[in-house]
Amino acid sequence: MMDLGEGLRKAIARLTNATIIDAKTIREFNKDLQKTLLSSDVEVQLVFSLTEKIEERALKSKPPKGVSQRDYITNIVYEELVALMGNAYVPELKPKKILLAGLYGSGKTTTAAKLAKFYQDRGLSAGVICCDVSRPAAYQQLETLAKQANVAFFGMEGERSAAKIAKEGLKSLKDKKVIICDTSGRSALDGALIEELKEVKKAFDPDEKMLVISADMGQVAGKQAREFGNAIGITGVILTKSDGSAKGGGALSAASAANAKVMFLGTGEKLADIKPFDPTKYVENLLGVPDIAALTETVRKAVEETGLKQEEVESEELNFDTFYSQLKAMGKMGPLKNLFGMIGAADVPKDMIEHGEERLKRFHSIISSMTIEERKNERLLHESGRIARIARGSGTSEKDVREMISEFNKMKKLFNTFKNDRSFKKRFGGMTQ
C-alpha cells in the first residue's frame, strides 16, 4: 500500500506541473486525490466531501494579487486536508488523573509510560497504575517501562479487582501531580470489559478518559471511538503507530468525524515518541514541508540522552572520537526516515535509507574497536596491522574499515569548510543549544 504522504505529494506534483490549470485539470487532480485517500482507508463520504470543497473553492474563487494559481490551489488542498484531520490539542500542564482504555494490541501500556514521561519532562511529577488484570505480562511490562521513564509505578500483582488496585494506587501515588491508569483490554469491546472499565472509572474518578487506538486500523478508529464513548464516555483519543502508516490519515479523519478529539500521536518505539496532535504539522509532514522545530528538538534530546557535552557537539576538531560521539547521538534520533521527513525529504528511496542505517551501525562498530589513541589520531591507522585488527574486532572486513575511513575524511573536509562559515553557524548554531 502506498504511503499516504507519498500519494498526496505525487498528486499535487502532477497538478502543479500541468501546463494549464482549468476545470478539467482540477477534476483529474481530485480523482487522484480520491484514489489516494480511499486506498489509505479514509471514509468514502469524507473523501467526496473534501474533493467537492476543493473543486468549489478552486473554480469559484480567484487567487489574491501576487499569488499564482498553482500556489493558490495547493494552499486550498492544504487547508482542506488540515480541516479533515480535526483540531489541534494543547495539553494543560496541571495536576490530573488520566484513565487509558483500549483493545488488545493498541499500545496502551507503552502509551501509559510515554504519557507519564511527557508530563514529568514538563515539570509535573508523574506515576502509573497497572489496572490491567487480564494480560499476564502487563504488570512486569509497565513496571519496566516506568523505570525506564523514571516515573513512579504502582501495581498489585495477582490482584483480580482492577477497582481495588485503582483505589490503592491513588493512595500510594498521592504525592504525584499526574497519575495515569492503564486498564485491561480485550480483542473486542464486550460486556465484561465495559463493566470492569465502569468500576475502575468510579474508583479512579479520572479527569481525562483517553482511548488508545492503533493508527493502522484506519476508519475503524471512528467506530471504536463511538463504542467506547457510549460505554464510558471518552474525552479524547491517542493514536499509536502513527509514524508512517498508510492508514494513519484514515484513523485521524474517522476519529474527527466521530467527534472524538485526537489528543496525542504515538510516533515511534522510544518513550519520548509521543506528541500532542497538531493537524497543521501532520499535513505539512505528509506534504514534505520541513519541520525545523521538530528537528531541533530531536537533536537537543539526543544530545541530552547521550550525555554529550556542548564542546563535543560543536568541536573545533573532527576526529574519530568526536565522530563516534555524534554517531551515538544520531542513534538516539530515531529512524532515518523520520529525520529525512523533518528536513522535507520524505521521498528518499527506502533502500537508500536502509543502506544508510546499516552503514551507520557498521561505522559505530568499527570505531568501537579502535583504541583511544587511534580515535584521536587518524594517522595511526596507516601503520601495518591496525586496520586488520580493527576489522576482526568489529566483525567487519578490511574493505569496510577503509570505506569508513574514506567517508570520515570526506566528512572532515566538509566539516572544515563549514566551521569557519559564519552564515552556516548563524543558521544552525542554535540547534544544539
Tens of pLDDT, residue by residue over 131-155, are 999 988 999 999 999 999 999 999 9
Model confidence band, residue 20 (pLDDT cutoffs 50, 70, 90) = confident
- CATH superfamily name and code, 4-84: SRP54, nucleotide-binding domain (1.20.120.140)
Q: Look at strands 96-101 and 126-131 and give their pairing.
A: unpaired
Q: Which three cell numbers stand for residue 7?
A: 500519494
Between 261 and 178, the higher pLDDT residue: 178
Q: What is the pLDDT of residues 62-98, one digit of tens each?
A: 888 888 888 888 888 888 988 988 899 999 999 999 9
Banded pLDDT at 210 (limits 50, 70, 90):
very high
Segment among 131-145, 304-318, 360-374 with least mean pLDDT: 304-318
311 exposed, middle or buried (CB, 10 Å; 0-12, 13-18, 19+)?
exposed
The CATH code for residues 96-286 is 3.40.50.300
Mean pLDDT of the chain: 81
Q: What type of residue is 55?
A: E
As a whole number of angstroms, the distance between CA 213 and CA 229 comes to 13
pLDDT at 318 over 70: no
CATH class of this structure's domain 292-428: mainly alpha
Q: What are the residue boundaries of the structural domains of the chain, listed by start?
A: 4-84, 96-286, 292-428
Amino acid at site 367: I
